[in-house]
Structure 1
Amino acid sequence: MTEQASTLYAKLLGETAPISWQELQPFFARGALLWVESTQDLIVAAQAVAENDQDKVAAWLEAGLLSKLGDARAEDLLARDPQLWAVVVAPWVLVQERAEAPASH
């Protein structure tokens, strides 16, 4: 990772925050949400979008690891209201469901 890429990664990481589905609904209505599968690093995906890395983004879209958030997923998120993470890479908001933390005993 170059120093410039490392700086962008750190900047995006600092801008990533938990968010509720209710707060994201206006962005969904505008078609501005990109869903990042939980197997992917949200920040790496955001960095690829920010750097316009068309090869990476196209490969993730093709593999279904990155996708425009559709109606079925929106309905699921509305019903479940899970904890989500989001980061803005204008004009997009990249969203990922936060992995469940292991239960402590």
Structure 2
Amino acid sequence: MTEQPSTLYTKLLGETAAITWQELQPFFARGALLMVGGTQDLIAVAQAVAENDQGQVSAWLTSDQLKKIDDDGAADLLARDPPLWAVVVAPWVLVQERRED
């Protein structure tokens, strides 16, 4: 039997959208951006942040699968302007580069 996604997961999925780095720059300036590693499920990470799952979030932070975007990361995103997905989990905006499958 396949496990059904939680209501929160479904809500976050519906609030996820494509966005440009230019649109995200004000959130970067406020220190409110978290980059989600490309191998992670953006929505699952957002759900863990929303549910304050400290153990899982800590593990991702330790392994750099979740990290605050620093100045070098911001400059890279500005230069490359890759396609991005973002979802808000106040006070954070979680962002991930879109994979071209």
> What is the DSSP-based 3-state SS (H/G/I as helix, E as strand, rest coil) of the residue aligned with 1:99?
coil
Distance 2:14 2:95 in 1: 15
Distance 1:23 1:65 in 2: 23
Q: What is the Cα deviation at residue 100 of structure 1?
A: 1.5
> What is the DSSP-based 3-state SS (H/G/I as helix, E as strand, rest coil) of the residue aligned with 1:31?
coil
1:58 aligns with: 58
State yes or no: 1:13 paired with 2:20.
no
Distance 2:80 2:100 in 1: 14
Q: Which amino acid aligns with 2:68?
A: K
Q: What is the Cα deviation at residue 46 of structure 1?
A: 0.1
Distance 2:100 2:75 in 1: 20
Distance 1:97 1:70 in 2: 16
> What is the DSSP-based 3-state SS (H/G/I as helix, E as strand, rest coil) of the residue aligned with 1:25?
helix
Q: Which amino acid aligns with 1:37?
A: G
> What is the DSSP-based 3-state SS (H/G/I as helix, E as strand, rest coil) of the residue aligned with 2:52?
coil
Q: Which amino acid aligns with 1:81?
A: D
Q: What RMSD in Å do the two structures reach over aligned CA positions?
A: 1.3
> What is the DSSP-based 3-state SS (H/G/I as helix, E as strand, rest coil) of the residue aligned with 1:95?
strand
Q: What is the Cα deviation at residue 85 of structure 1?
A: 0.2
Q: Which amino acid aligns with 1:99?
A: R
Distance 1:34 1:99 in 2: 17
- Give the number of equivalent residue pairs: 99
Alignment of 1:20-35 (within 5 A): 20-35=20-35
Distance 1:46 1:14 in 2: 12
**Identity of paired residues, percent?**
73
Q: Which amino acid aligns with 2:33?
A: L
> Of Structure 1 and Structure 2, which has the larger fraction of its residues in helix?
1
2:95 aligns with: 95
State yes or no: 1:67 paired with 2:61.
no
Q: What is the Cα deviation at residue 36 of structure 1?
A: 0.1
Distance 2:91 2:42 in 1: 16
Q: What is the Cα deviation at residue 22 of structure 1?
A: 0.2
- TM-score normalised to the size of structure 1? 0.91
